[in-house]
Chain A
Amino acid sequence: MASVTLEHVGKSFRSGAPALRDLSLRIEDGEFVSLVGPSGCGKSTTLNLIAGLDEPTSGTVRIGDRVVNDLSPAERDVAMVFQSYALYPHKDVRGNLAFPLEVARLSRAEIERRVTETAELLGIRELLARRPRELSGGQRQRVALGRALVRRPQVFLFDEPLSNLDAALRMEMRTEIKSLHQRLRRTFVYVTHDQAEAMTLSDRIALLRAGELQQVSAPREMYLQPVNRFVAAFFGVPRINVIPPSALGLSGDGLVGVRPEDLEISAAAAQGSVPATVDLVELTGAETWVTLSAGGERVVGRAPADFALEPGASAFIRAGRHLRFDDDGRTIG
């Protein structure tokens, strides 16, 4: 039983604005939760507080039923995978995997058993005698995962573990982490700035901004029902169009948000559509991103790959599903 609970957690560093303000978040046992947000939003700070690498200025951190505020990382039963992998350069792979177990004073036989088992699980058995500098980026990533796994902790923490990998490898490791979670059924807390990564991996996502929690939801809900303009804009590529309703022929005040895939573009006028000019057409492969201007606003729509209009052409656009924001950016419908 190892849920992670943050209750009214605050964290200030000596210089500057507080890094975290009154953060309350409960991560259930076995759940995969991603912490996302722009850089400096407090996601890594949150991870460090859970890990015990930092102490909260106020509030309570619990792992399971235990308050862990005053416990060192060693006493918290957590493991962590780092962005730079942070493998020990002077130890070979075996030494890296064995190190946390040696610190915990396990028997030599038990260490050997667990190291072998973990290496097998990750397919790095033939690498055990190598030094980190002799490994490729993907291999280092696997060793870093292994060093976390070998301890069989209750909670796994990930600090942007994939951002140093190239695109292809990142996809592969993403799948690997997902399947690992499904097999282990332990609690995973995953920090990333990559919204697609968070979407595909997580049971739930927590979005932070300037030290404040914006929304905690399942990925689908996060995308479809963002609580405010910031959340709406954070997820989705291309970004959601946020414009005055009049530009799209809609009534009412404030602003509306229309996802590019909800913007219908056609050559002929239809009911409820407004005229627009095609500015830019970008083929991405499976689909086309179309930038248009309408009523003095710039909007982006998503069209099939065979989209036929050229830049400069006239078109008609109509908003399908859309969100409405009040003057403070809150979602009101």
Chain B
Amino acid sequence: MKRGLALLFFVGPFLWMALTSVWPEAQLTRPLPEALTLASYAGLGGSFARAVVNSLIVAALTTAVCLAAGSAAAFAIARLPVPGKGGLLAFALAVSMFPPIATVSPLYLVLRAVGLRDSLPGLVLPYTTFALPLALWLMTSFFRALPDELYRAARIDGCTPWQAYLHVFLPLSAPALATSAILVFIFSWNELLYALALISTPERRTIPVAIVLFAGEHAEPWGQIAAASMVATLPLAALVLLFQRRIVAGLTAGAVKG
């Protein structure tokens, strides 16, 4: 009963969206559609497909950059005598809480100056502000949970600190890398403010921007918006279903340890 209520509130709107996406445009005024159609999906066209590809590119690039830099730094902080390491973690946490609005204007000007403003790689840089601290924290708590002797064993077996990272700790951290990748991917996939501010060419829009700027000739094309939303939601629904455990663990990793 309680569960049913919760599902109705949290999942119900999606069902309405799904229904809207197959609701014939001409029948939107009716209480319920008389027939279902895929016309809204067919009408989405190439520009939205382009947005999906753009989002994929930006999210994948951001994930790659943040995992590479984040796991290396996490290993250093967890296992090596880096001066001031406690402060570095707190610094990363603080950065992740910066309001994006506070950094957007200088980033806009700098990216414009170096010719990256209206480009997909140009989005990756601002995205690291929230994605990199996340990867860093998740990876650090993973590396810290490994026994200290593992690092010493690798050193005794002849590894330099770099080799210990590349041959032992990096392969070992596959599960934590996966968790970080999923979360970073979702956050980058969903980001709106930077994308809205920095991207102006319609062909370079990401999904959230495309959805926000979706406009029809006369009224708002609700059927198409719903269809586009479905397309953008389905990969996330799949991720959530498949990796529910990992996502929850990742989101709450910091919460338990405080």
Residue A86 contacts which of B150, B158, B160, B174 (CB distance < 8 angstroms)? B150
B255 contacts chain A at the CB level, 8 A cutoff = no
A53 contacts chain B at the CB level, 8 A cutoff = yes
The reply to whether B157 and A84 form a contact with Cβ atoms under 8 Å apart is no
The reply to whether B147 and A86 form a contact with Cβ atoms under 8 Å apart is yes
Question: Which residues of chain B have a CB within 8 Å of any CB of chain A?
Answer: 147, 149-150, 152-160, 163, 167-168, 171-172, 174
The reply to whether A82 and B158 form a contact with Cβ atoms under 8 Å apart is no
User: Given the known A-B contacts A74-B158, A100-B158, A103-B158, are A82 and B172 also in contact in the complex, defined by CB atoms under 8 Å?
Assistant: no
Question: Which residues of chain A have a CB within 8 Å of any CB of chain B?
Answer: 48, 51-53, 72-74, 78-80, 82-90, 99-100, 103-104, 147, 151, 157, 159
The reply to whether B171 and A86 form a contact with Cβ atoms under 8 Å apart is no
The reply to whether B158 and A104 form a contact with Cβ atoms under 8 Å apart is yes
Residues of B within 8 A of A99 (CB): 157, 167
The reply to whether B172 and A90 form a contact with Cβ atoms under 8 Å apart is yes
Residues of A within 8 A of B171 (CB): 90
Question: In whole angstroms, what is the CA distance A88 to B158 when docked?
Answer: 14
The reply to whether B160 and A147 form a contact with Cβ atoms under 8 Å apart is no
Residues of B within 8 A of A51 (CB): 152, 155-156
The reply to whether A73 and B149 form a contact with Cβ atoms under 8 Å apart is no
The reply to whether B152 and A86 form a contact with Cβ atoms under 8 Å apart is yes
Q: Say how far A84's CB is from chain B's closest CB, in angstroms.
A: 5
Question: In whole angstroms, what is the CA distance A86 to B150 when docked?
Answer: 5
The residue in chain B whose Cβ has the minimal distance to the Cβ of A48 is B152
Residue B159 contacts which of A74, A83, A86, A89 (CB distance < 8 angstroms)? A74
The reply to whether A74 and B160 form a contact with Cβ atoms under 8 Å apart is yes
Question: In whole angstroms, what is the CA distance A147 to B154 when docked?
Answer: 11
Show 5 A/B contacts (Cβ-Cβ < 8 Å), sorted by A: A53-B156, A79-B157, A86-B153, A100-B156, A147-B157
Question: In whole angstroms, what is the CA distance A83 to B156 when docked?
Answer: 14
Question: In whole angstroms, what is the CA distance A72 to B157 when docked?
Answer: 11
The reply to whether B153 and A103 form a contact with Cβ atoms under 8 Å apart is no
Interface centre among B147, B158, B172 (most CB of A within 10 A): B158
8 tightest A-B CB contacts, nearest first: A100-B157, A86-B153, A74-B158, A86-B149, A103-B158, A82-B149, A80-B156, A73-B155
